[in-house]
């Protein structure tokens, strides 16, 4: 038996994990319990498309197919409050105009409850005490604003509650009464107006400044309406949890964390009282107010490896569905009987990954040049870190994987893109750069007007850190991401053209002026947020800033290979954003590979399209960085991928 002498040899000795196993449909996912505990639902493929299934809780093996989607996977479903039906949403080829559908559990009758064109529904509120109705918003009359309707889930009848030509959103209570209306104020923050007896107060009752807009807001009512919860960063940095007495107005601080905003919460299914909350800095920690919930979480902690959480509860709170991320095994779901302290496996999302050479993720803190701490996550290829300290035995080719948003964040846990790229021989680094959410308002606001500037500096600082730590080979670093991450890729190749060996841009904007001109109409009520954080196109100074931060004007600076993926129906980042940069590059005789999917929107949701694009990415990265790649095979023929230009620049596509 020979000993591998270098990292490439050791990676080559690791089994190749197939793209199908990583990016194909899960066997099951999205498990939910009906409120009355009689039914259990989940998502699973039917004819290779993810659909909704249901079974009696007492007989989960006797499953029934509830939906019949044949083209795109159903993205979301939930049980109706009365447990008589399952509700789900669908759009058309990625246009994000989601309509609401209902399928009756007993009869199987399937109908669209909102049969309108060019309409995107919002679920505004549900109720514990009114089980056959919900509040929804419809923008079929005015595409910028959602009128509020009371929807009868039994008959399908809709009663207009409020015609809306002004408000960005609403908050209701358990009686399905609107209690707050929200709109953007002139300063880019949020004004919240109380609604009493259907009348909206003319002056705001709560004013949230722009600096607090992403970390403050109403978090819901208890069922009796006596307590209003807030997540609030006003007068502080991180978003803390408060309880307000609705009769006296007195607020009580319930929870805070100096490093992270209060994240998820567990509320009692009947009373709505918050029983536990989560904070996530590098990893998630749960904190409990309720002794019974604490006892259950402590017991689960003893039974399960890795991370876990509660994804569904019955009304009587005796049964939970618990997700479990073992971190180096596929995610699984358990049925937990709290009274009997019985835990049984419901499903493993991707059994084919059991025993696969999945690698641990390493949380890291990286310092920016101006002293910010950037919470980050690193995954290394198998066989390259013999002592397990998170530093490879020799520098590796690396992919800097940039998250979208940018007002979002990367987190800890099983990440199929990290696992895929690490398995191909790359160190993978994800960085929460300034502007990312979850770490307090100061961290978010440090990214204001810093597109292509300090936000990008953070990414460069992370690359330099990885090189200095001996993680990355300085000459073999790729940048890759979707949405804002795609924009960051274009910035990387145009503003710092010598840092990266190549880039993969997925639905990323190239021109911030045209991006803001073509945002979805239902984003318009909050557009001042974009102007204050990116640049204001209504002023000459702001327009110049947007131009200065747009890669389109620096396309001639690109000297390294670029791969672009785009959905033709993307409502957020229009196809023109990719078309522009491709045309500019071709105008300068700069090679580029451009892949278009005619039936996709903001990202690639059909597994066959995602797998096809990733096959192209593998060949592209292998040609640029020298990693390994699974043969392309016939995956392109199974997808709708159109390689508009540059096929010859991708290894294995000949």
With a cut of 70, say whether residue 1 has pLDDT above it: no
Is the pLDDT at 237 greater than 70? The verdict is yes
How confident is the model over 211-230, as a mean pLDDT?
Answer: 97
SS3 string, 399-429, reads EEEECCCCCCCCCCCCCHHHHHHHHCCCEEE
Q: Worst-scoring range by mean pLDDT, 10-14, 264-268, 502-506, 601-605? A: 10-14
User: Quick check: 7 pLDDT over 90?
Assistant: no
Q: Which of 396, 372, 537 is nearest to 459 (CA)?
A: 372
pLDDT of residue 39: 98
What per-residue confidence (pLDDT) applies to 351? 98
Mean pLDDT of 39-45: 98
- Comparing CA positions, the residue from 404, 445, 452 lying closest to residue 548 is 452
Q: Residue 8's pLDDT band (boundaries 50, 70, 90)? A: confident
Q: What is the pLDDT of residues 290-319, one digit of tens each?
A: 999 999 999 999 999 999 999 999 999 999
**Is residue 352 pLDDT above 70, yes or no?**
yes
Residue 510 appears among annotated catalytic residues = no
Per-chain mean pLDDT for the chain: 96
Residue 654 pLDDT class (50, 70, 90 cuts): low
* Active-site option among 385, 570, 599, 605: 570
Mean pLDDT of 475-489: 98
Q: Which residue has the tokens 């957020």?
A: 572
- Mean pLDDT, residues 456-474 taken together: 98
pLDDT value, residue 3: 40
Q: What is the pLDDT of residue 414?
A: 96
CA distances from 454 to 85, 370, 432, 448, 449 (A): 49, 9, 13, 9, 9
Is residue 652's pLDDT more than 90? Answer: no
- Based on the residue annotation, tell me whether 370 is a catalytic residue of this protein: no
Considering 362, 403, 418, 602, which one is annotated as catalytic?
602
pTM flag (> 0.85): yes
Rounded mean pLDDT of 420-427? 98
Q: What angle do CA 117, 125, 182 make, to 5 degrees?
A: 85
Amino acid 182: pLDDT: 97
Annotated catalytic residue 193: no
Choosing from 127, 483, 550, 578, which is the catalytic residue? 483
pLDDT digits (tens, 9 = 90+) for 133-149: 999 999 999 999 999 99
Closest CA to 460 of 422, 431, 503: 431
Percent of the chain having pLDDT more than 70? 99
- Using a pLDDT cut of 90, give the percent of the chain over it: 95
Instruction: Give the chain's length.
Output: 654
pLDDT in tens, 154-166: 999 999 999 999 9
- Name the residue with tokens 């819901």: 220
**Token pair listed for 628:** 């390994």
Query: Is the per-residue pLDDT at 653 higher than 90?
Result: no
For 401-406, what is the mean pLDDT? 97
């Amino acid at each position: 038996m020979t000993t591998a002498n270098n990292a490439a040899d050791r990676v080559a000795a690791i089994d190749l994990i197939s793209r199908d196993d990583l990016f194909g449909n899960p066997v099951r996912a999205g498990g939910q319990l009906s409120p009355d505990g009689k039914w259990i639902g989940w998502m699973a493929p039917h004819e290779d498309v993810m659909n909704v299934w249901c079974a009696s809780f007492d007989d989960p093996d006797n499953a029934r197919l509830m939906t019949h989607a044949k083209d795109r996977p159903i993205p979301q479903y939930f049980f109706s409050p009365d447990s008589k039906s399952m509700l789900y949403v669908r759009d058309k080829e990625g246009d994000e105009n989601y309509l609401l559908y209902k399928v009756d559990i007993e009869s199987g009758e399937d109908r669209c409850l909102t049969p309108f064109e060019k309409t995107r529904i919002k679920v505004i509120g549900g109720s514990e005490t009114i089980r056959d109705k919900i509040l929804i918003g419809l923008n079929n009359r005015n595409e910028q604003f959602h009128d509020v309707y009371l929807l009868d889930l039994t008959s399908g009848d809709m009663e207009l509650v409020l015609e809306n030509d002004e408000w960005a959103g609403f908050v209701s209570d358990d009686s399905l009464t609107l209690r707050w209306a929200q709109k953007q104020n002139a300063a880019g923050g949020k004004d919240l107006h109380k609604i009493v007896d259907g009348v909206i107060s003319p002056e705001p009752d709560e004013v949230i400044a722009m600096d607090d807009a992403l970390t403050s807001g109403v978090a819901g009512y208890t069922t009796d309406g006596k307590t209003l919860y807030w997540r609030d960063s006003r007068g502080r940095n991180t978003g803390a949890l408060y309880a307000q007495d609705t009769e006296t107005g007195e607020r009580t601080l319930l929870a805070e964390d100096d490093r992270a905003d209060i994240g998820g919460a567990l509320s009692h299914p009947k009373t709505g009282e918050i029983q536990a909350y989560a904070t996530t800095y590098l990893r998630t920690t749960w904190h409990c107010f309720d002794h019974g919930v604490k006892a259950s979480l402590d017991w689960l902690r003893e039974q399960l490896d890795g991370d876990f959480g509660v994804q569904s509860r019955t009304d009587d709170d005796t049964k939970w569905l618990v997700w479990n991320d073992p971190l180096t095994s596929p995610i699984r779901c358990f049925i937990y009987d709290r009274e009997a302290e019985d835990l049984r496996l419901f499903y493993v999302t991707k059994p084919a990954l059991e025993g696969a050479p999945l690698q641990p993720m390493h949380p890291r803190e990286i310092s920016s040049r101006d002293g910010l701490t950037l919470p980050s996550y690193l995954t290394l290829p198998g066989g390259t870190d013999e002592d397990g300290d998170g530093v490879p035995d020799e520098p590796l080719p690396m992919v800097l994987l940039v998250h979208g948003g940018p007002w979002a964040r990367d987190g800890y846990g099983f990440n199929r893109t990290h696992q895929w790229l690490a398995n191909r021989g790359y160190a993978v680094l994800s960085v929460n750069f300034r502007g990312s959410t979850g770490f307090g308002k100061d961290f978010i606001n440090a990214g204001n007007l810093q597109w292509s500037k300090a936000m990008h500096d953070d990414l460069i600082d992370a690359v330099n850190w990885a090189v200095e730590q001996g993680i990355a080979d300085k000459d073999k670093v790729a940048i890759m991401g979707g949405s804002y991450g795609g924009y960051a890729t274009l910035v990387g190749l145009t503003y710092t053209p010598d840092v990266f060996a190549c880039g993969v841009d997925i639905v990323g904007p190239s021109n911030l002026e045209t991006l803001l001109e073509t945002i979805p109409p239902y984003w318009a009520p909050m557009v001042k947020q974009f102007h204050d954080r990116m640049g204001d196109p209504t002023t000459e100074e702001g327009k110049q800033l947007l131009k200065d931060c747009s890669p389109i004007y620096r396309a001639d600076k690109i000297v390294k290979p670029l791969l672009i993926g785009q959905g033709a129906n993307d409502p957020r980042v229009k196809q023109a954003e990719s078309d522009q940069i491709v045309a500019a590059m071709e105008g300068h005789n700069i090679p580029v590979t451009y892949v278009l999917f005619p039936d996709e929107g903001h990202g690639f949701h059909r597994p066959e399209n995602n797998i096809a694009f990733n096959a192209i990415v593998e060949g592209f990265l292998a040609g640029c960085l020298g990693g390994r790649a699974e043969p392309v095979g016939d995956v392109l023929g199974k997808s709708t991928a159109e390689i508009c230009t540059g096929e010859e620049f991708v290894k294995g596509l000949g």
